[in-house]
Structure 1
Amino acid sequence: MTSVVSSSQRTVRIGSRKSQLALVQTYWVQEQLQKSFPDITFEVHTMATQGDIILDVALAKIGDKGLFTKELELGMINQEIDFAVHSLKDLPTNLPEGLVLAAITERENPADALVVNEKFKDRQIDTLPEGAVVGTSSLRRLAQLRHHYPHLAFKDVRGNLNTRLAKLDAGEYDALILAAAGLQRLGMGDRVHQVLPKEVSLHAVGQGALGIECRGDDAEVQKLLKAIEHPATRDRCLAERAFLRDLEGGCQVPIGVNTEINGDTLTLTGIVASIDGTEFVQDAVTGSTSDAEQLGTQLAQRLREQGAQPILDKIFTEIQRGS
């Protein structure tokens, strides 16, 4: 195959979803690469994914394998684009044949954030009144929050960030749980009312990081992408993704994580929870950053020994039934 960065071709095509957040993230990647390789032209090509088109159905009911990535992956396989920028939490842990995760960029704050309607500006998550309506499209957040705050009411919310915030401000919801990283990247960090501590909500696998996917046989593009990889974020996210992969959980299964690095030591915490929040299995492992993926597998096996598998089996059944 002819490299896209050979002397006869100095243009690299970047694939992106059309959403505002996706474009902000993709233009950031484009800017970083342009600084590092000024003699190469990096063009952004946008595509609509299934997850962008179907906005009136809960994510868990659609089936989320590749929901926000499939069209971009087909674009790479068909050589319409050379690499794609994803929110890493949207990228399945098993990639299509011929594609690889070439780089992971430095992570923004991966925590979940509470955003409130003006009438609750003096409240925190643990002081919201009984029956307050909290919007989230994530089963992971839903399961953990139901566990800690069974007195709150939870309601699904879809749409882009501006749409969700408009629904909140109009009073359709009393609060929303959103990714702090997305708000920060869109210049809406001031809407973060409270960053939820890990004791309340372990974040999604890969949350806050960007994953850049490309063809496995395109060594030149892979070499370019390594210029913007962040090693510590990579190690943390590889551990998280191995944990999720071993449990065979998609993005919409209530699996949460937290990773911390101290020198060459990585600590991975993981949770599997039932959708109603009543069943809850959590543990942590610590080891070398060089063994990141093995740590993820080890933690998955540990949680299985503690009863995670029956919880997961029940969740898959509930999702298939449309519960």
Structure 2
Amino acid sequence: MVNKTIRIGTRDSELALWQAHTVQKQLNDLGYKTEIIAVKSQGDIILDKPLYELGITGIFTKTLDIAMINGQVDIAVHSMKDVPTALPIGIVQAAVLKRANVLDILVHKGNLDFLENEGTIATGSLRRQAQWWNKYPKHTVVDLRGNVNTRMQKLNDNDWNGAVFAAAGLERINLKPESFIDLDWMIPAPAQGAMVVVAMANDNFTIDALSQLNHIETEICTYIERQFLKTLEGGCTAPIGALAKYDEPNDTIEFEGVLLSIDGKQKLEISKKVDISEWKKLGFSCAKEILENGGNELMIEIKKQLKK
């Protein structure tokens, strides 16, 4: 074993640190030396060259990417759903860890009567907002941002009926309360529940180490979902959900995808089941089908609305 210490970059939120420690333990168990380096948010970093043309989509990953490019850390661990579909030049996906719970959940105040009437729920996600309005058009949806802990606190401090969270994030740091329901009708964000580790493309030692952590089924399913996303949105944020599942006994992949208008009134859905041999183009072909059946017009409309 070469005596190199793999420096793991992470944001300093509780969930980000949990993810970094998880990767650290797996690498340590394989005999690698590691060190965790918490990298401050992008406000402290002045960029003298445009490493990014990706706009707001990479807001959670930008700081760590820059730290890697500048040689301060060797790898970065992310919630995969936060990672832009196009990685910066010189950075590669080195491992996708086995996926956790993919579902969105509604954390509520103990009383669900509002689901039958009028109510207010909180989410910062266009995808969750659109799917919620599609199902509950009379409800009010308010914006909710911040890390998981901050959002839970805001839910407690406000008179909202509930807020939507990814189950995986709350489960990872033991924040999932008693009062929640699984939103099994809501199609999750592409790669929800999965963690990805990125490294520098020219760092063979680290890439080799990380390849041992890769979970192939999760890698394939998240690839399909992210390909669907990339084909639909072309770098613009939109209400898009995607979920691919591997059915082991039949060696097939089941895929569900959705694109909605921001107000949730329009919903374009697709579901397909294919043989595992067809996985490479599945996300692309499903996205193309949606674009041809009204998706192109809908994406133009969404881009207009987001510019306002």
What is the TM-score when the length of structure 2 is the normalising length? 0.91
> What displacement does 1:93 show?
0.5
The 5-angstrom pairing of residues 1-323 of structure 1 reads 7=2, 9-37=3-31, 40-50=32-42, 64-117=56-109, 121-123=110-112, 128-191=115-178, 193-197=180-184, 199=185, 201-249=186-234, 252-263=237-248, 264-321=251-308
Structure 1 contact 183–192 (Cα < 8 Å) conserved: no
Structure 2 contact 224–279 (Cα < 8 Å) conserved: yes
Q: How many residues matched? A: 298
Q: Within 2, Cα distance between the matches of 1:167 and 1:229?
A: 36
Cα deviation 1:177-222 (Å, max 9, x = unaligned): 000000100112334610101x3x1000111000111111222211
> What displacement does 1:291 show?
3.7
Q: Which runs of 5+ in 1 are unaligned?
A: 54-61
Structure 2 contact 11–38 (Cα < 8 Å) conserved: yes
Q: Within 2, Cα distance between the matches of 1:87 and 1:182?
A: 9
Q: Which amino acid aligns with 2:131?
A: Q
DSSP 3-state at the match of 1:100? strand
Question: In the alignment, which residue of structure 1 is the partner of 2:49?
Answer: none
Pair 1:206–1:251, CA change in 2 (3 A): farther
Pair 1:294–1:227, CA change in 2 (3 A): same
Q: What is the Cα-based RMSD across aligned positions, in Å? A: 2.1
> What displacement does 1:162 show?
2.0
Pair 1:254–1:192, CA change in 2 (3 A): farther
Identical positions, percent: 36
> What displacement does 1:36 show?
1.3
Q: Which runs of 5+ in 2 are unaligned?
A: 46-53
Structure 2 contact 103–166 (Cα < 8 Å) conserved: yes
What is the TM-score when the length of structure 1 is the normalising length? 0.87
